[in-house]
């Protein structure tokens, strides 16, 4: 019963096979192979426009170098207070941008509140040389709370960003899970709603290591080859990422994987809702379930072999003294058996 | 006839197979899986002491974060004037150390001249607050010129570094090629000669993506987990690197791959030496051959399907006006057929 | 009626005279002149121990380079949410430390709440490679709200810092104002309460440009000469700062200046408290008065020639819809006449 | 006999007087006072066009932040191998640009050789993501060798920069000395020859602390207020610099000071040329004299009270085994008496 994280899974068999298939033969290095070019073209199709795509090693690198590409002196990125860039990247955005800051914006359920965003942008410390200057707005889709911004919500935030002349970034470490949850297209969920810059993650959804920065406007990407190389993020045998993305994006494998993960999460959520020993912290939209579970019950679950992490309780959530907040994550590799067994244990 | 670079090859079949074999099942992320630990133990055995090993995405990252781990304000790294850190990393060492500099030291055949190293360390600009302070010495083994430092040469440079209290780093992007060329052991080529810090490369020698920073003294590595995470260089599914290194280091695969590459390079060199249309720029020690070839002949070779890069002529080399300097690189995947065909063409 | 800021004043006549007196003659540059050494010795006397003192150009530089001297990868400084480092330095701490972050800690009246500090230090994002590591605690004395930490309050925060092995920094841009308010000594207000590192400001209290970083333990300062030089903060004609500090610290001029400023602020506060058109936002302890003034009244004051800035309303303060929060700052140069005139206008 | 450096002098009496005169009264801080504006206007007149001028604390800061204003990822500044940015700034350009490099270009007598500059720009490591990208050309006027580029020489280098689309920077720490040596105007020596960006130094020529970055095109300066603030280089009581520049630029004081320094240097040079115990290393153009003096003679000079520094011998200079290279610097404060006494001693 593996619910610790979607990065505890390995690689999807089709992706492993694709990697092996491309292992032999010679190909140009550093992203200029035929397979690299084919995958770049595939991104154009998926996003229904000419985009510019760059592979990097990790989601943290994608976010940080994305921010570096729009960095300004004294720059301030506005992101949700629980954003990965704030809580889980050890200062990589600050480091790789050469000192820009990521300022937390409030909002329920992991989503930026547009009114608070506007306030943060208008705050003196993001408008004058003494304090700094707002330089980007970033949302996470799906969010760190397992929720998903609706298309309208993305559009509203995009409008705030645009009104203040700020690039709009989406951290899509779990892009496919959000896409499937909304039943929409990549184009609708990004540039048609104002997104300029995307961290496109494949690793959590069935790849070994496949992360990319996608520029919706190729003209904005001219300095990125230097930014990436300078950060030690340009793979020499780049085709090993290309091969993964090729399989990932072929025959809707990525959407199927995400759909499976979301479905498993919904079943987990239903089991928790039905349980007398546990309750949902909030309704999950994608592949992360946040549950408040009694101490005794959670110990028993772990003893029975379930893996999952305790989570920091947000200010707005009330948790009893003998309860704790836990996060359970599903993935392409989560089995129905594991979910059913968990459901039985918690019932 | 692929002689452009050792990173034009894909992955060795045994490594591809190992990757596929580890694709299924769940495992702890971020380097804490059983396989990660097993590989860490394997490094201890290979180096005949307890070392600390960290996977990173690229050789540039290994070098730059290695330097970041010994960085000091106003710091200056002394490296050969043709070092990868100076010529081929787009300023990554400066960027990822937060501003340290890499100062070129002279020396023939890609190797630091110890006397010039001493001079550089004693130069005012590396000793006082006005100029900065020397912070590390770095050698590349095998070098960017395809030569290999002898054990004595490494020891001599190590002694200079130690005398001035400077950490001694080895850029081992082609570590195995040097090891095989010298017929020695990892321990003999590193810490027994004073090396403190190693960039250990597997990518050019048969892996997809397997680079590591090795600290000979684990106590020197306490801040590295933060340095690596902050640079977006911590793989979530770290076991995909572990699986590659596991196969790479098993049954001496890495040494066999390197031996093959070096042997192919030696054959290429012999063919060039015997040719009336070309000559060796200098004697190769590992898997890179530098040849001076007449313009007509090099055009003909390319037309016949050989890939190789033109190279910048070092100051001490004389090249005729109708000649050019070229680099030819072999790898585990170089075929005897390609080498023989090239030999025939150039004869 | 100049209440905009204490940096709208010029230099105290005694300091201007000292500067002129030292203008002729030759002296060693970069801080090694006799006068520089004399002032360094004067700091030892004032702090009742051997300290190490470094002049820098601004308070922002003092704070940022102080933090750089204790920086660690992924490092997080804990400071009050309204600290100068967070609100007014345009990201200099992040920039000059190479990416450390300053995390806001809550607390009333501009002072860190020790319990919230402990929480912030224990938060996962400041303890593991994924999030980062706490690297320092910083208080501002007197605070940005014009309040002053008591000696006990400083000691309590110092104890939290020490318990977690964190250096304790004090931003003393208005150090003298706090000292006079508490009626204590520099030693009692700093190292005897656990302070390791001090930004010592003279500019706001009668100098042209006299800011310093003071290390309570000289052994902690070995890298600072390089840090300062590398930041372009080493004055060649350093004695022009030494001359200012020499006059500033002579015959208690600095304490007299601060006492005058605090006294003027107390009179302003009394006038505001007595006014039917205004009220104090909170009781001032030093030379900054925060007042809630009706819109009509504040317009009238400005029309009559009073200069002062509007201030961002903290979350915990209630301000009526026709009122605003203003900050009034006094200095050594504030005249009784100006204060009396303001008192009459507001009465 | 003070010939150690032009920064061993204090402030010119007129400048000290101006500072005292502006000490009283209140004025807006951070560069927005009337005096700041008046000085900005004065710069427009001197340069015969609308420029944008920013005060900073040191020449190192001026150079480094100037470079930061044109920085690009993987960026490489081309400067003479003995440039202050390379030899004397402890890595500040790398640090404050967030990792750009300064690449040494060869050339005799402290001046960039235009052909070598072109070579350096065309080198692969400054043209592709792997190596980096040239981002600026910088000359020092007068040079670190005490020579002065002719207007034609500046124009030639400016043309190379322009041909490659690179901003052209002049380090004018001794701008006035060069100006007087050439008998030309600021406009002729800068933008009329292609200079885009100038570090304008007043400190070595009679001020306490007066350094500025001058943008020939104000449109290029929009981000500089943030760059400067973020580096802790924005003086609060900025008028103390303005007051110095006001006096410095009034009634040609700056040109008179420089003329005096140059004249004193010429006399020193004549005395050295006439001496049987010493000779000129090369002909000085401004206020720095480089002399080869026998060991016994130099000891005697020092014993007699002369201060001057030994200098690193450039590769192209031959110095006997019992000789050393020394630098003697004159300033506005150098007295004829000191020069005459030195002349007698060396005769």
Query: Residue ranges per domain, chain D?
Result: 13-253, 255-346
Interchain proximity B91–D74, CB inside 8 Å: yes
Q: Taking CB atoms and an 8 Å cutoff, what residues of chain D touch B76?
A: 91
Neighbouring C-beta atoms of residue C147, cutoff 10 Å: 24
Does the pLDDT value for residue D240 go beyond 80?
Answer: yes
B260 neighbors B332 (Cβ within 8 angstroms): yes
**CA A303 → CA A298, A308, A324, C282, distances in Å?**
9, 12, 16, 54
Q: Which helix (H) or strand (E) holds D328?
A: strand D323-329
CATH code: domain D13-253 is 3.40.640.10
Q: Is A265 on the interface with C (CB under 8 A)?
A: no
Q: For residues B269 and B343, give the distance between their C-alpha atoms in angstroms, rounded to a whole number.
A: 9
3-state class (DSSP) for residue D140: strand
Interchain proximity A91–C76, CB inside 8 Å: yes
B132 neighbors B75 (Cβ within 8 angstroms): yes
Q: Which helix (H) or strand (E) holds B53?
A: strand B52-56
Q: Is the peptide bond before D161 cis (omega within 30 degrees of 0)?
A: no
- Spatial strand order in the sheet of C309-310: C278-280, C288-294, C323-329, C309-310
Q: What was the pLDDT predicted at A316?
A: 84
Of A11, A90, A233, the CB nearest to B57: A233
Q: For residues D312 and D47, give the distance between their C-alpha atoms in angstroms, rounded to a whole number.
A: 36
Question: How many angstroms separate the CA of residue A134 from the nearest CA in chain B?
Answer: 22
What chain C residue is nearest to B236 in terms of C-alpha separation? Answer: C130
Q: Which of B29, B66, B97, B230 to probe the C interface (max C CBs under 10 A)? A: B230
ipTM of the complex: 0.96
Q: What was the pLDDT predicted at B129?
A: 87
**CA A307 → CA A2, A278, A299, C200, distances in Å?**
5, 16, 11, 52
Q: For residues B5 and B334, give the distance between their C-alpha atoms in angstroms, rounded to a whole number.
A: 10
Structure tokens at B204: 């050019």
Residues written for chain B: 347
Closest of A38, A56, A12, A241 to residue B11, by C-alpha: A241
**Residue recorded with tokens 């630990």:** B37
Of C23, C27, C226, the CB nearest to D90: C226
Gyration radius of chain D over CA positions:
20
- Over residues A155-200, the pLDDT tens digits come to 999 999 999 999 999 999 999 999 999 999 999 999 999 999 999 9
What chain C residue is nearest to D26 in terms of C-alpha separation? Answer: C9
DSSP-assigned beta bridge partners for residue D329: D288
Q: Which helix (H) or strand (E) holds A80?
A: strand A75-80
What chain A residue is nearest to D226 in terms of C-alpha separation? Answer: A129
Inter-chain contacts counted by CB atoms under 8 A, chains A and D: 47
Q: What was the pLDDT predicted at A179?
A: 98
**Residue recorded with tokens 């204790």:** C70
Of A72, A133, A227, the CB nearest to D73: A227
Task: Give the confidence band of A127 by pLDDT, cuts at 50, 70, 90.
Answer: confident
Task: Give the confidence band of D315 by pLDDT, cuts at 50, 70, 90.
Answer: confident
Structure tokens at A271: 């089991």
Interchain proximity D223–A98, CB inside 8 Å: no
3-state class (DSSP) for residue B262: helix
User: C-alpha dihedral over D255, D261, D266, D268, to 10 degrees?
Assistant: 170
Q: For residues A295 and A299, give the distance between their C-alpha atoms in angstroms, rounded to a whole number.
A: 6
A237 neighbors A210 (Cβ within 8 angstroms): no
DSSP-assigned beta bridge partners for residue C324: C293
Interchain proximity B90–D101, CB inside 8 Å: no
Q: Which of A65, A73, A130, A230 to probe the D interface (max D CBs under 10 A)? A: A73
A100 neighbors A133 (Cβ within 8 angstroms): no
SS3 track for chain C: CECCCCCCCCCCHHHHHHHHHCCCCCCCCCCCCHHHHHHHHHHHHHHCCCCEEEEECCHHHHHHHHHHHCCCCCEEEEEECCCHHHHCCCCHHHHHCCCCEEEEECCHHHCCCHHHHHHHHHCHHHCCCCCCEEEEEEEECCCCCCCCCCHHHHHHHHHHHHHCCCCEEEEECCHHHHHHHHCCCHHHHCHHHCCCEEEEECHHHCCCCCEEEEECCHHHHCCHHHHHHHCCCCCCCCHHHHHHHHHHHHHHHHHHHHHHHHHHHHHHHHHHHHCCCEEECCCCCCCEEEEEEEHHHHHHHHHCCCECEECCCCCCCCCCCCEEEEEEECCCCCCHHHHHHHHHHHC
Task: Give the confidence band of D129 by pLDDT, cuts at 50, 70, 90.
Answer: confident
Closest of C85, C74, C54 to residue C230, by C-alpha: C54
Q: Is the peptide bond before A58 cis (omega within 30 degrees of 0)?
A: no
Q: For residues D202 and D190, give the distance between their C-alpha atoms in angstroms, rounded to a whole number.
A: 17
Q: Is C30 on the interface with B (CB under 8 A)?
A: yes
Is residue A268 exposed (0-12), middle (13-18) or buried (19+ Cβ within 10 Å)? Answer: buried
D189 neighbors D181 (Cβ within 8 angstroms): no
Q: Which helix (H) or strand (E) holds D14?
A: helix D13-21
Q: Give the predicted TM-score (pTM) of the model.
A: 0.97
The architecture of the domain spanning B255-346 is: Alpha-Beta Complex (3.90)
- Over residues B145-170, the pLDDT tens digits come to 999 999 999 999 999 999 999 999 99
Q: What was the pLDDT predicted at A150?
A: 98
The pLDDT profile of chain C, 347 residues, written as one tens digit per residue, is 999 999 999 999 999 999 999 999 999 999 999 999 999 999 999 999 999 999 999 999 999 999 999 999 999 999 999 999 999 999 999 999 999 999 999 999 999 999 999 999 998 777 788 899 999 999 999 999 999 999 999 999 999 999 999 999 999 999 999 999 999 999 999 999 999 999 999 999 999 999 999 999 999 999 999 999 999 999 999 999 999 999 999 999 999 999 999 999 999 999 999 999 999 999 999 999 999 999 999 999 999 999 999 998 988 899 999 999 999 999 999 999 999 999 999 99
Tell me what percent of chain A is helix, strand and coil, each rounded to the nearest 5.
45, 15, 40
Q: What was the pLDDT predicted at D326?
A: 97
Q: What was the pLDDT predicted at B246?
A: 98
For D:302-341, CB contacts with C below 8 A are 307, 333
Q: Which helix (H) or strand (E) holds A162?
A: helix A151-163
User: C-alpha dihedral over C250, C252, C255, C261, to 10 degrees?
Assistant: -80
Q: Taking CB atoms and an 8 Å cutoff, what residues of chain D touch B88?
A: 125, 130-131
Question: How many angstroms separate the CA of residue C325 from the nearest CA in chain A?
Answer: 15
B278 neighbors B294 (Cβ within 8 angstroms): yes
Per CATH, D13-253 and D255-346 having the same topology is answered no
Structure tokens at D100: 């750009």
Q: Which helix (H) or strand (E) holds B103?
A: strand B101-105
Structure tokens at B342: 């090239």
């Amino acid at each position: 019963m593996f619910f610790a994280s979607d990065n505890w899974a390995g690689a999807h068999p089709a992706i492993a096979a694709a990697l092996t298939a491309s292992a032999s033969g010679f190909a140009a290095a550093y992203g200029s192979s035929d397979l690299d070019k084919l995958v770049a073209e595939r991104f154009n199709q998926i996003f229904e426009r000419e985009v510019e795509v760059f592979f990097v090693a990790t989601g943290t690198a994608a976010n940080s170098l994305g921010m570096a590409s729009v960095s300004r002196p004294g720059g301030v990125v506005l992101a949700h207070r629980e954003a990965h860039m704030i809580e889980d990247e050890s200062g990589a955005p600050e480091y790789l941008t050469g000192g820009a800051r990521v300022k937390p914006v409030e909002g329920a359920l992991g989503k930026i509140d547009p009114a608070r965003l506007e306030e943060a942008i208008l705050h003196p410390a993001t408008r004058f040389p003494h304090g700094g200057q707002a330089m980007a707005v970033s949302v996470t889709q799906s969010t760190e709370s397992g929720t998903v911004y609706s298309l309208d919500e993305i559009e509203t935030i995009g409008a705030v960003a645009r009104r203040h002349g700020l690039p709009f970034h989406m951290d899509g470490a779990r892009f496919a899970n959000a896409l499937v949850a909304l039943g929409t297209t990549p184009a609708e969920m990004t540039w048609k709603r104002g997104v300029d810059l995307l961290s496109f993650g494949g690793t959590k959804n069935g790849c070994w290591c496949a992360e990319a920065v996608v520029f919706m406007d190729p003209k904005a990407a001219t300095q990125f080859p230097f930014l990436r190389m300078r950060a030690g993020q340009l793979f020499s045998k780049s085709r090993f990422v290309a091969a993964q993305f090729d399989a990932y994006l072929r025959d809707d494998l990525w959407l199927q994987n995400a759909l499976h993960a979301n479905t498993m999460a919904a079943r987990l959520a239903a089991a928790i809702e039905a349980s007398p020993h546990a309750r949902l912290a909030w309704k999950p939209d994608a592949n992360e379930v946040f549950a408040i579970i009694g101490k005794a019950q959670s110990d028993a679950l772990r003893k029975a072999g379930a893996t999952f992490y305790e989570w920091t309780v947000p200010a707005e959530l009330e948790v009893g003294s003998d309860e704790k907040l836990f996060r359970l994550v599903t993935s392409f590799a989560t089995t129905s058996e594991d979910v059913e067994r968990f459901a039985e244990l918690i019932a």
